[in-house]
Amino acid sequence: MLKATNQSSNGGARLFRGVPVDDIELEGVTGPHPFSYDELAAATGNFSDDRRLGRGGFGSVYAGFLTDGNHRDVAVKRVSETSRQGWKEFVSEVRIISRLRHRNLVQLLGWCHGGAGDGDLLLVYELMHNGSLDAHLYDPEGVLAWPARYATALGVGDALLYLHQEAERRVVHRDVKPSNVMLDASFTAKLGDFGLARLIDDGRRSHTTGVAGTMGYTKSDKGKFVLRMGWSRNLPLLTLAIVICSSQQHCSEQLD
């Protein structure tokens, strides 16, 4: 269990983006554990550019290697100061993922709130050696074969079934898209990025919630896929299936 502290190194309240935050919100989390900033800086070569795996609206992800006794490859997500993901989403991601255990979910290993100034928010995951699904879907040099697409859809479907029906408390991910589907060394699909997820207490009834993250897709009367407002528990998998097939050129090439 994390021994929380709400004091910064200079004796004042801990801050993120100039706003006081309280690490006590992460107390009681089991499984993932807190890392020190120095540990993660050392693991990523001080967050060097040549270790950067990707960059997005949330910040950057770096490849790292931990020498904490397990000697393992990791991916460290560093939340940027301009990210839509703030302290609330950071805490949500840690608390929700720490409850989950499934072969098609990216495993969260730990977190960190530290560093200079207002401190960095860092999440430590198992490293997905084959990156995100979108890189394979839209790579002209290596189109993902249909058997692999099918296996990916099944894997994400299993993850969503677990989140919606089998977990102790239902979890709504709210941002299912190819860039949030990761592929391990064996190309097993694993759903990640739970910063916008919500725990739902609804007695397992059908549930609809507000839109967050990336909107879903629907087909217009002209045959083109357009964005749709609203969310239902069936939309994430339908959205993923459509996006997997959205590159019509690649699809037609493999069907010819």
Residues with Cβ within 8 Å of residue 240, at least 6 apart in sequence: 153, 156, 176, 177, 178, 181
As given in the structure block, the two tokens for residue 118 are 């207002």
Tally Cβ neighbours within 10 Å of residue 172.
22
Specify the pLDDT at position 49: 95
Which residues of the chain form beta strands (DSSP E)? 15-16, 19-20, 33-34, 52-56, 59-66, 72-79, 108-114, 120-126, 170-172, 181-183, 189-191, 198-200, 216-219, 225-228
Residue 77 assigned to a binding site: yes
Sequence letter at residue 157: G
Phi, psi of 105, deg, nearest 5? -120, 135
- Residue 180 near residue 134 (C-beta atoms within 8 A): no
CA angle 148/152/153 to nearest 5° reads 120
Residues designated as active site: 175
Specify the pLDDT at position 240: 65
Question: How far is C-alpha 76 from the chain's CA centre?
Answer: 11
Specify the pLDDT at position 248: 45
* Residue among 198, 216, 215, 194 at smallest CA distance from 207: 198
- For the chain, how far is it from start to end, CA to CA, in angstroms? 56
Specify the pLDDT at position 116: 60
Which domains can be identified in the chain, with CATH numbers?
Answer: 15-126 (3.30.200.20), 133-255 (1.10.510.10)
Task: Average pLDDT across each block of 10 residues of the chain; the chain has 256 residues. List them in order.
Answer: 41 54 59 86 95 83 87 88 66 79 91 71 92 84 80 89 83 81 93 69 44 43 41 60 56 48
Specify the pLDDT at position 38: 92
